[in-house]
């Protein structure tokens, strides 16, 4: 049987057969090559995504296994950036995000969102930059933050903390309430008083000087260093009546157990 190519060659002018045949072979070869490239590209994406998904699941499982006693909740991990394979071969991942929207610490719900840049593929090198956002309800906040002058817990307001305390003046113990704006200051939380009043004390006495002293004493420092791994600092705080959202940052943070369990000191 004569194939189509042979029929075309029979009707060709002398000298046309070889170029036409060569051109057709080149087009077929190009088509096959492009087809293979497409298939290889699809396969690479599928393999890459498969490895990425497996790594994300494995990382989430390992994080959940390593949660401290009393801390429970599901953890989601997302590895961003370009090709997972190329990032792995390069030794680090550009963008790793960890979400634990229903994390619970001692019964308190503490949603956590963490973003890390420059994470070593074998965790041998420090993470270049980490940002962690933690939302603390009122009970959870009072478990973490202890204000030196306060005799009770912190009450959350619209951008403010409200607290109560006591002060000794001329041998008298006075109770007072204080409203303050919290500000981030590295390993400290600063409480800048905005209003104060004496709530209990001997009747008929003028306590205006006590109020002035409370307001003029400057921000009240609350040390957080003993609660945080060395190198982790408080960079921002936002307060609503429902929660205080604290943002922590760190540069060149080691991921070894000893480094993460090491705490700072309060001067």
SS3 208: helix
Tell which wins on pLDDT, 93 or 42.
93
Do residues 176 and 152 make contact, with C-beta atoms less than 8 angstroms apart? no
Do residues 219 and 190 make contact, with C-beta atoms less than 8 angstroms apart? yes
pLDDT of residue 35: 65
Residue 52 pLDDT greater than 70, yes or no: yes
Q: What is the 3-state secondary structure (H, E, C) of 143-194?
A: HHCCCCCECCCCEECCCCEEEEEEEEECCEEEEEEEEEEEEEEECEEEEEEE
Query: What span, in angstroms and rounded, lies between the C-alpha atoms of 221 and 232?
Result: 17
Query: What span, in angstroms and rounded, lies between the C-alpha atoms of 79 and 59?
Result: 10
pLDDT of residue 159: 96
Residue 204 pLDDT greater than 60, yes or no: no
In terms of average pLDDT, the best of 18-22, 154-158, 254-258 is 154-158
- Length in residues, the chain: 267
- Cα-Cα-Cα-Cα torsion 32, 34, 36, 38, nearest 10 degrees, comes to -150
Residue 182 pLDDT greater than 80, yes or no: yes
Cα separations in angstroms, 153 against 62, 84, 162, 195, 220: 35, 47, 9, 17, 15
pLDDT of residue 179: 92
Do residues 164 and 147 make contact, with C-beta atoms less than 8 angstroms apart? no
Do residues 191 and 217 make contact, with C-beta atoms less than 8 angstroms apart? no
Model confidence, pTM:
0.77
List, in sequence order, every residue forming a beta bridge with 190; answer none if it has no partner.
183, 221
Residue 56, φ and ψ in degrees, nearest 5: -65, -45
């Amino acid at each position: 049987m004569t194939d189509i190519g042979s029929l075309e060659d029979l009707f060709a002018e002398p000298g046309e057969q070889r170029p036409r045949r060569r051109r057709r072979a080149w087009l077929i070869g190009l088509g096959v090559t492009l087809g293979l490239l497409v298939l290889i590209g699809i396969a690479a994406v599928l393999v890459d995504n498969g490895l990425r998904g497996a790594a994300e699941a494995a990382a989430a499982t390992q994080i959940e296994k390593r949660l401290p006693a009393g801390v429970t909740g599901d953890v989601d991990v997302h590895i961003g950036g370009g090709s997972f394979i190329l990032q792995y071969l390069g030794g680090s991942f550009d963008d790793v995000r960890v979400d634990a929207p229903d994390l619970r610490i001692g019964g308190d719900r503490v949603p956590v969102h963490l973003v890390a840049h420059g994470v070593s593929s074998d965790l041998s090198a420090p993470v270049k930059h980490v940002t962690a956002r933690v939302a603390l309800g009122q009970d959870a906040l009072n478990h973490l933050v202890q204000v030196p002058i306060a005799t009770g817990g912190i009450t959350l307001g619209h951008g403010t903390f409200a607290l109560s305390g006591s002060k000794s003046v001329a041998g008298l113990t006075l109770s007072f309430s204080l409203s303050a704006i919290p500000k981030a200051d590295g390993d400290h939380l600063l409480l800048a008083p905005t209003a104060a009043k004496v709530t209990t004390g001997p009747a008929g006495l003028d306590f205006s000087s006590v109020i002035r002293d409370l307001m003029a004493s400057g921000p009240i420092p609350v040390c957080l260093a003993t609660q945080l791994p060395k190198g982790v600092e408080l960079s921002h705080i936002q307060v609503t009546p429902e929660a205080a959202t604290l943002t922590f940052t760190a540069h060149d943070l080691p991921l070894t157990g000893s480094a993460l369990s090491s705490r700072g000191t309060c001067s």
